[in-house]
Structure 1
Amino acid sequence: MKEIFTGGTGGNGGNGGAPPAPAALAAKVRTLAPSMTRSMQRVAEAVAGDPAGCAALTVTGLAELTGTSEATVVRTARLLGYPGYRDLRLALAGLAAQQQSGRAPAVTADIAVDDPIADVVAKLAYDEQQTLADTAAGLDTAQLGAAVSALAAARRIDIYGVGASALVAQDLAQKLLRIGILAHAMGDPHLSVTNAVLLRSKDVAVAITHSGSTGDVIEPLRVAFEHGATTIAITGRPDGPVSQYADHVLTTSTARESELRPAAMSSRTSQLLVVDCLFVGVAQRTYETAAPALAASYEALAHRHSPRSR
């Protein structure tokens, strides 16, 4: 049985790994802000909303601007992945320069009830693009590579997700099945746990939960973890409870939630990007068997839809 640890092994949160690049700063704020204290949220929102203005402030100045303390500013900088406030200021200056050059677009307004449909399309398209860019910028490629290796060598793969995440779980399962890898998407919480009991060291369990705290997803992952399976969490909250039972944590980002665009919509976009990265990585590792399997599935579908087959 593996030792249970606190916190995930992903390099996207806390102080681990190199500080995030300026382009990833806004993504870090969106991902971590919900788990921050209210005072830390004020600091995070300030630096994301006005990177140029905040880059010009001392730690005392930013504390006064946000109505917090110098210690809160430093703690926020460290939670975002920077050794100290000086490093955060450098990142803010870099982000401001990117925005001025047009390489980092400013945040658009939320969708309003009376927006014309053309504006809805434009705003949704921007948010989707930003969500994908944020997820790519914040994705720990070392964790991704380790997850790919585990999936490629797995005897069996169980994938857990509920609600919108269940759709993503099904997508990953059907992709893997098409290249000859035994994978099952578990939508029933009871079935998930009873199947997790049977997993062993050569098996893999994948939990997909944007909040990182969905009990119906965490419980089967815990059972799989304790029975020796390799466990993977795809989550928007790398500091959430699900990471406690994950060998590998893949962090997703999400666009800003609004009244007309719930978190489930944007989180699914980032989850699907991670799923595609996993699938392509596994297909690369297993190319000799994956390529013929894909060709066979394409041929079977083509035959099914051929007029002659009707």
Structure 2
Amino acid sequence: MHRPVTPPAPGALAAKARTLAPTMTRSMRRVADALVADPAGSAALTVTGLAQRTGTSEATVVRTARVLGYPGYRQLRLALAALAAERAAGRAPAVTADIAVDDPLPSVVAKLAHDEAQCLADTAAGLDTTALEAAVAAVAAARRVDVYGIGASNLVGQDLVQKLLRIGVIAHAPADPHLAVTNAVQLRSGDVAIAITHSGRTTDVVEPLRVAFEHGATTVAVTGDPAGGIGQYADHVLATSTARESELRPAAMSSRTSQLLVVDCLFIGVAQRTYERAAPALSASYEALVHRHAARPDPR
């Protein structure tokens, strides 16, 4: 399914470059890294100058611009100049080092907090709100919602499901990949299937979404790689970002943060759209559980 590409706003350029870096070739990654590190200096260069600075070719620079969502290098330069102006105005966070094995805990806390905040900001800046609106509308009207994910992504899926259930939306998040496929076989038009996978290529997540897609369900992909295999079976793609990886901070940690933001946005949108039935359902679920949170009486 072909989707028109909208160039990212200047503030989202760095976020998109960081998000797509793992899917780029080494030479394209050098170009992207140079753009993020020095947008003002890069904006001042011709396509030939940037190619020379990064040790690549003019064709690589142009390809990088297009992967980032710009028709050509001229449009990318304009966005770089705007990004440089935003940074000069003090709206860009400082860059911190990766977590080291001998870092004291206060330093770990500070670095994690910075990276989590950056990850959330990048995801918010790059999120396609048109696709989000479409996903919200589909879930709000769904007869049933299935959510697929493995490992940390399944935990995010479980989080979304328990929220949807509290507002009266029938939802499931099978942890077993075989059960996910057998569930997907039962989906039809009017149902929704949501796949959560950072890589976009996890077979146990792609497969049930493919089955759901082929059976007529509306499909949504929450992924860090919109161009990955998951995209061909998704009616709507919600892209996530990832903070810097290190030996002590694998992708599963940082991707979970951005995935939670996306599913929370999806849930709030559904709750807003279905407020007349969601509010009583929330109240009823609260009343059903409130006694479990009450202080136990003193047995004496």
TM exceeds 0.5? yes
Tell me which amino acid in the other structure corresponds to 1:289: R
Q: 1:258 aligns with which of 240, 246, 259?
A: 246
* 1:121-160 to 2 correspondences below 5 Å: 121-160=109-148
Alignment of 1:38-57 (within 5 A): 38-57=26-45
Deviation readout 1:89-144 (Å, 9 max, x if unpaired)? 12212222222222112322111222222121111111111111111110001000
User: CA separation in 2, counterparts of 1:309 and 1:137?
Assistant: 49
Asked whether 1:66 is paired with 2:80, we answer no
Distance 1:136 1:86 in 2: 26
Match of 2:162 in 1: 174
Work out the number of aligned pairs and report it.
298
Q: Which residue of 2 aligns with 1:204?
A: 192
Contact persistence 1:77–1:85 (CA under 8 A): yes
Query: Equivalent residue for 2:292?
Result: 304
Give % identity.
Answer: 77
Query: AA paired with 2:255?
Result: S
In structure 2, C-alpha distance between the alignment counterparts of 1:97 and 1:113, rounded to whole Å: 36
- Give the whole-Å Cα distance in 1 for the aligned partners of 2:139 and 2:297: 35
CA distance in 1, matches of 2:89, 2:104: 29
What is the aligned partner in structure 2 of residue 163 from structure 1? 151
User: After superposition, where does 1:1-310 map in structure 2 within 5 Å?
Assistant: 5=1, 9=3, 16-17=5-6, 19-307=7-295
Q: Structure 1 residues 309 and 176, CA, compared in 2 at 3 Å: closer, same or farther? A: farther
Residue 83 of structure 1 aligns with an amino acid whose one-letter code is P
SS of residue in 1 equivalent to 2:193? strand
Find the aligned partners of 2:135 and 2:162 in 1 and give their Cα distance: 18
Gaps of 5+ in 2: none
* TM-aligned CA deviation for residue 177 of structure 1: 0.2
* Residue 186 of structure 1: how far off its partner (Å): 1.5
- When the two chains are superposed, the root-mean-square deviation of aligned CA atoms in Å is 1.4
Report deviation, 1:174: 0.3
Q: Take 1:309 and 1:273, find their aligned partners in 2: how far apart are those partners?
A: 38
Task: Give the CA deviation at 1:304.
Answer: 2.1
Name the SS of the counterpart of 2:222 in structure 1.
strand
Say if 1:253 and 1:270, in contact at 8 Å, map to a contact too.
yes
Three-state SS of the structure 1 residue aligned to 2:95 is: coil
TM-score by length of 2: 0.96
Cα distance in 1 between the residues matched to 2:182 and 2:123: 32
Aligned amino acid, residue 151 of structure 2: G
CA offset digits 1:31-71 (Å, max 9, x no partner): 11111121111111111122122122111010001111111
Deviations 1:249-300 (A, max 9, x none): 0001111111111111110000000111010000011111100010111122
Distance 1:106 1:61 in 2: 27
After TM superposition, the score normalised by the length of structure 1 is 0.93
Task: Find runs of 4+ consecutive structure 1 residues off by over 6 angstroms.
Answer: none
| Aligned-partner SS, 1:186 | coil
1-structure distance, mates of 2:8, 2:297: 54
Distance 1:306 1:123 in 2: 37
The higher relative CO (CA closer than 8 Å, separation ≥ 6) is in: 1
Contact 1:99–1:106 at 8 Å: present in 2 too?
no
